[in-house]
């Protein structure tokens, strides 16, 4: 049911996938310690609430096993991996929060509560070059 309700939002938001955004700040996540943070969540936590600057979170190649939560107040975020084969975020035991990929290649949460988060600020989240996996 959540999935069906969610579909119209996917369609409305698809055009953003091809858009570029004016990134003002870039932080690097590197699980090996070569960046600003070692986990994606740490980078998100660094972004201030009511964020006004487009912030790029660049995630170096690797598999990041963590459940990432992006609060609605933290908009203007570009999450960029080094390619769908290179950068993967995975987490398990949260099937109702599984990420879905739409026709434009963007990822969205299937959870209705998370969906509300992602749709409240229409143009403020972009995902590129990254794979989200749910593993059980």
Interface residues toward ligand NAG, by CB under 6 A: 27, 36, 94, 96-97, 111-114
Q: For ligand NAG, which is the closer residue by CB, 9 or 94?
A: 94
- Contacts of residue 122, Cβ cutoff 8 Å, sequence gap at least 6: 12, 13
CA–CA separation, 114 and 100 (whole Å): 12
Closest approach, Cβ 96 to ligand NAG, in A, equals 5
Closest approach, Cβ 94 to ligand NAG, in A, equals 4
CA–CA separation, 38 and 52 (whole Å): 24
Closest C-alpha among 34, 44, 33 to residue 67: 44
Closest approach, Cβ 1 to ligand NAG, in A, equals 11
Q: For ligand NAG, which is the closer residue by CB, 96 or 121?
A: 96
Q: For ligand NAG, which is the closer residue by CB, 18 or 48?
A: 48
Strands annotated E in the chain:
25-29, 55-59, 62-65, 77-80, 87-91, 99-101, 107-109, 125-128, 131-134
Q: For ligand NAG, which is the closer residue by CB, 103 or 136?
A: 136
Closest approach, Cβ 88 to ligand NAG, in A, equals 18
């Amino acid at each position: 049911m959540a999935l069906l309700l969610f579909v119209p939002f996917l369609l409305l938001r698809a055009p953003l996938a091809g858009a570029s955004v004016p990134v003002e700040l870039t932080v690097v996540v590197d699980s090996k310690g070569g960046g600003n943070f070692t986990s994606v969540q740490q980078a998100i936590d660094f972004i201030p609430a009511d964020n006004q600057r487009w912030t790029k979170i660049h995630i170096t190649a690797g598999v990041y096993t963590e459940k990432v939560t992006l609060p609605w107040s933290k908009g203007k975020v570009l999450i960029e991996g080094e390619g769908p084969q290179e950068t993967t975020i995975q987490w398990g035991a949260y099937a109702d929060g599984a990420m879905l990929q739409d026709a434009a290649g963007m990822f969205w949460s299937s959870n209705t509560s998370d969906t509300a988060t992602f749709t409240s600020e229409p143009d403020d989240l972009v995902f590129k070059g990254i794979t989200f996996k749910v593993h059980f």
